[in-house]
Amino acid sequence: MFDINNIDKSIAINLNPQSLAFVGDAVFSLYIRQRIVLDEEVNVNLQHKLTTNFVKASGQSEIISKISKMLTEEETKIFKRARNYKTNNIAKNAKVIDYKRATGFEALIGYLYLIGNQPRLDEILNVGYDTIHKELENNATNRG
């Protein structure tokens, strides 16, 4: 995605889970924005609304439910460590469980990005995008 030096797994795995999630949040948000700009022919206001469905805690929590069985043991440890990390920060519009699961998902994304595992990152991001996109399509069909 960017031309930066990757870090060794042993360094990345020992980073604070909140730091991994901080990076993962940015990576995931940029990925979703790019997909929406390239895949959806809608105005900027709707692009923002669509992006929100993907990056909100409940959306990320749903994604981790979908991908949990495909995670390696190492990826599961990264996710659980961040999910279980004690924090006082809770999004005001999110359930605690969704927020914690979203933090774990973002930490996993941050970890994969920092170690430079682009193929695995792409795989997880694509499944995540497809999961929420299908849900949005189903909701639109059920409403209309």
User: Are the beta carbons of 56 and 19 closer than 8 angstroms?
Assistant: no
0.85 exceeded by pTM? yes
> How high is the pLDDT of residue 144?
60
d(CA 20, CA 80) in angstroms, rounded, equals: 13
Residue 49 forms part of a structural domain:
yes
Catalytic residue positions?
25
CATH code of residue 33: 1.10.1520.10
**Could you tell me the residue range of the domain that residue 73 belongs to?**
9-137
Residue 3 forms part of a structural domain:
no
The answer for residues whose C-beta is within 8 angstroms of residue 5's C-beta and 6 or more apart is none
d(CA 106, CA 11) in angstroms, rounded, equals: 17
pLDDT digit string (tens) for the chain, length 144 residues: 556 788 999 999 999 999 999 999 999 999 999 999 998 788 888 888 888 888 899 999 999 999 999 999 999 999 999 999 887 666 677 788 999 999 999 999 999 999 999 999 999 999 999 988 888 777 777 766
Instruction: Catalogue the E-assigned strands of 28-80.
Output: none
Residue 142 forms part of a structural domain:
no
Residue 1 forms part of a structural domain:
no
What is the number of structural domains in the chain? 1
Among residues 133, 75, 79, the alpha carbon closest in space to that of 107 is found at: 79
